[in-house]
Structure 1
């Protein structure tokens, strides 16, 4: 299936996905963040209704979608590696977890493409590769679920001169982080199941 299609949205519905891993793992000084609570409630509602959450698409998100094919081509030209596009990959043994990588590379790699609207952000990525840390949980989650060894986290900005349009930071599997993420998904899934049952009982009693 192609990403962004109704079939793709249906496949992701009610699951913990790559773009949601950062919210799942977000913590504050006092404990789990509000974004984690919101995520768990959202997934519970998706499972209860069978309908994926409607998300707002801003200008930056639209820009990213439009530039992604160009970024993929630029990455291929720069590295000499072909990128295989994929739809949605469900975790082998946790069917409530899945990811949508921007592309698979060779037998053990993948690429995650970012096209920031902010030129300053791309400059920062060129300087210090901070996008590798910024998208840590998404990338480690993709490496886990897709069973890959490395990911080239790639920022693309065609407004920069030739030679500076790509900032590529290679990230390898972090088994400790993957174990932490897996355990967080399992714990959160139990919470989701409890909320779904609670809401069903409320509905019956109403």
Structure 2
């Protein structure tokens, strides 16, 4: 296993968007693993692949924006991190971006030598559902197991938060069988990405009659 490169930057900054360019990242691993109907191609996966191909070809990130919702999310993330540190009596180390080969991740925090924290803010009705379900949210499995894979760490806590609501915290450990399937999916995705970029770079406009 190779140690990831730590890229110092603020998440959501220009440097962060550039660090992510052209490689699949953990937040988009659900798209990488997506299947279409009857096992066919997934539109979500194809769209993500074309976005990364565009980044490689143009040298420009396809997404680089911020809005009020995103800014509020950053504030709530800071609040949730503080709650988590208080609950667990554990300091968190903020991180910009991790790159490990042709994959990357942006964990919300590193914890000690072996752990990660992923923070999610959910509206009250969604947080209530999470609290009553009482288990690691399955919709975040690909991202969180992907972060463990990229970061070469052993466990990840997910902290689901909304102001004036109980915070939900639970832990998942590395699922090696799942990570193996994820690695195969990312390898196949990157191979298709390379092929797509090569085809577009070789493309020639037909001559006018």
TM-score normalized by the length of structure 1:
0.89
What aligned pairs does 1:27-106 form with structure 2 within 5 A after superposition?
27-31=35-39, 32-54=41-63, 60-91=69-100, 95-106=101-112
Alignment equivalent of 2:31, drawn from 4, 14, 23: 23
What aligned pairs does 1:154-193 form with structure 2 within 5 A after superposition?
154-160=159-165, 164=166, 166-193=167-194
| Contact in 2 for aligned 1:132/1:171 (Cα 8 Å) | no
Alignment equivalent of 1:139, drawn from 115, 120, 144: 144
The aligned residue for residue 120 of structure 2 is 114
Deviations 1:31-82 (A, max 9, x none): 2421011111111111111111126656544432221111111100111011
Aligned residues: 198
| Contact in 1 for aligned 2:21/2:52 (Cα 8 Å) | yes
The aligned residue for residue 5 of structure 2 is none
| Contact in 2 for aligned 1:132/1:169 (Cα 8 Å) | no
Q: Which runs of 5+ in 2 are unaligned?
A: 1-8
| Contact in 1 for aligned 2:136/2:172 (Cα 8 Å) | no
Q: Which moved more, 1:22-31 or 1:4-13?
A: 22-31
Q: Which runs of 5+ in 1 are unaligned?
A: none
- Structure scoring higher RCO (CA < 8 A, sep ≥ 6) equals 2
TM-score normalized by the length of structure 2:
0.88
Matched, 1:152 2:157: yes
Change (3 A) 1:56 1:23: farther
How far apart are the structure 2 equivalents of 1:132 and 1:154? 10
Deviation at 1:28, TM superposition (A): 3.5
The aligned residue for residue 203 of structure 2 is 202
Deviation at 1:202, TM superposition (A): 1.2
Deviations 1:118-159 (A, max 9, x none): 211111111114553110000000001101111111101113
Deviation at 1:200, TM superposition (A): 0.8
How far apart are the structure 2 equivalents of 1:87 and 1:189? 23
| Superposition RMSD in Å | 1.8
